[in-house]
Amino acid sequence: MKLGRWPKLGPLLLWALGCLAPSAAAEALNLQSVAPNIWFVQGEAAVGSSANRNFISNAGFVITPEGVVVIDALGSPALAQELIDAIRRLTAQPIRYVIVTHYHADHIYGLQAFKALGATVIAQQGGKQYLNSETASLRLSASREELFPWIDENTRLVPADRWLAQDGSLELGGERFHIQHLGPAHTHEDLVVQVEKAGVVFAGDLVFRGRIPFVGQADSGQWIAALERLIEIKPRVLVPGHGALSSDPLADLQLTRDYLRYLRQTMAAAAAELEPFEQAYARVDWSRFEHLPLFRAANRMNAYNIYLALEQQASQGLKP
């Protein structure tokens, strides 16, 4: 029997779980300093589950004299509330904006907690397609079962208040935020946020630091191009969508880029020669990447998705 089938028990179980492991919750949302007045929290290198509260992605914020700008909203309303509480311990300034790097569940299920405070949500307009899709609806339904009690019948999908059609900027309290659309890549709507004075870049899921990314239905070729553009920006500090803070952005950008390049190189050859996927996968030397977290969980699926995409391109006479 799944707990998700008893939604009325959600608040009680939520309270009970919090009482049983308060120290674990506090440690999980440990604030890490990025630069003066810039902070982030780091999710686990894991697949989302009720055990980890869907805390598998990063989120950050910038405190200014006129308010707070948050980047991404974490994977559940409860996590978002914990982030709000952490911000409140540092400043009484209102949370003015939440910038969404992309509309994936582990980055957006916390949005409703910020909306309740009156924050303005900013995202790229490509997110509308996902937000209004059957995929998003089915994912939420499944999450209410798989991630209960952290995702329940009260969790909802929150649209942006401001949909960006092109690159934009935001100024608040003397801070300037450059918002660039580098999709389609990991998703169609990928945004990166550059905090101008500090030279800090919040890269969203364009960068999975020190671990294997989830490719899914991403445009891997455009993703590589987006990483090249990030390399050209030369950020001083990089906050990835997943993984630890990077004070050596070039190396971390190159790792994600090189992994995607290797997937495309090996799978393109197999697709062009009509080699069966299982045979192609078995002969590839994965030694450079197999030590990375989530290799077993994600690599085969990543390779297969790219194989299918390149096989389709090959059938149409297109070059990878």
| CATH assignment at residue 148 | 3.60.15.10
Per-residue pLDDT at 217: 86
Residue 2: what pLDDT?
37
**Domain-embedded: residue 215:** yes
Residue 304 within any structural domain of the chain: no
Q: How many domains does the chain have?
A: 1
pLDDT at 101 over 80: yes
Q: Which residue has the higher pLDDT, 286 or 14?
A: 286
Instruction: Specify the DSSP class assigned to residue 171.
Output: E
Q: Give the model's pLDDT for residue 318.
A: 64
Average pLDDT over residues 33-62: 96
Q: What is the mean pLDDT of the chain?
A: 90
Cα 273 to chain center, whole Å? 35
Domain range for 182 is 3-248
Where does the pLDDT of residue 126 fall: very low under 50, low under 70, confident under 90, or very high at 90 and above?
Answer: very high
Statement: residue 306 has pLDDT above 60: yes
* Confidence check: pLDDT of 70 > 60: yes
Q: Is residue 282, in this structure, part of any structural domain at all?
A: no
With respect to residue 287, please indicate whether it lies within any of the assigned structural domains: no
User: Residue 3: its pLDDT value, please?
Assistant: 37
CA neighbor of 160 nearest in space, from 196, 132, 195, 188: 132
Indicate the range of 104-108, 119-123, 245-249, 278-282 predicted with least confidence.
245-249
**Residue 290 pLDDT more than 90?**
yes
Helix (H/G/I), strand (E/B), else coil: 77: helix
Mean pLDDT value of segment 18-31: 50
How confident is residue 61, by pLDDT bands cut at 50, 70 and 90?
Answer: very high
Do the domain assignments include residue 244? yes
Residue 7 within any structural domain of the chain: yes
Pairing of strands 59-64, 67-71: antiparallel
142 pLDDT exceeds 80?
Answer: yes
Q: Residue 28 has what pLDDT?
A: 52
Instruction: Confirm whether 35 is domain-assigned.
Output: yes
pLDDT at 17 over 70: no
Contacts of 33 by beta carbon, 8 Å cutoff, 6+ apart: 39
Residue 203 lies in a domain: yes
pTM here is 0.87
User: 71, 99 in Cβ contact below 8 A?
Assistant: yes
CA 72 to CA 242: how far, in whole Å? 12
When pLDDT is averaged across residues 246-269 and rounded to a whole number, the result is 94
- What is the per-residue pLDDT for 232? 93
Residue 45 CA to residue 84 CA, distance in Å, equals: 22
| Residue 9 confidence (pLDDT) above 60 | no
